[in-house]
Amino acid sequence: MRQILLGLGVSAVFAAGCVAGATSLAVPKAKAAHVEEQRWAYFCFDAQNTEDVHFKANAAGARGWEMVSGIANPGGGSSWCFRQPRP
- CB 72, CB 78: distance < 8 Å: yes
Q: What is the pLDDT of residue 2?
A: 74
Q: Write down how long the chain is.
A: 87
Indicate the pTM of the whole model: 0.56
- Digit-by-digit pLDDT tens for the chain (87 residues) are 777 776 777 777 777 777 766 666 667 778 888 888 899 999 999 998 989 999 999 999 999 999 999 999 898 899 999 999 997
Check residue 13 and give its pLDDT. Answer: 74
**How many angstroms separate the CA atoms of 52 and 57, rounded?**
8
- Tell me which long-range contacts 71-78 makes (C-beta under 8 A, separation of at least 24): 73/46, 76/48, 77/46, 77/47, 77/48, 77/49, 78/46, 78/47, 78/53
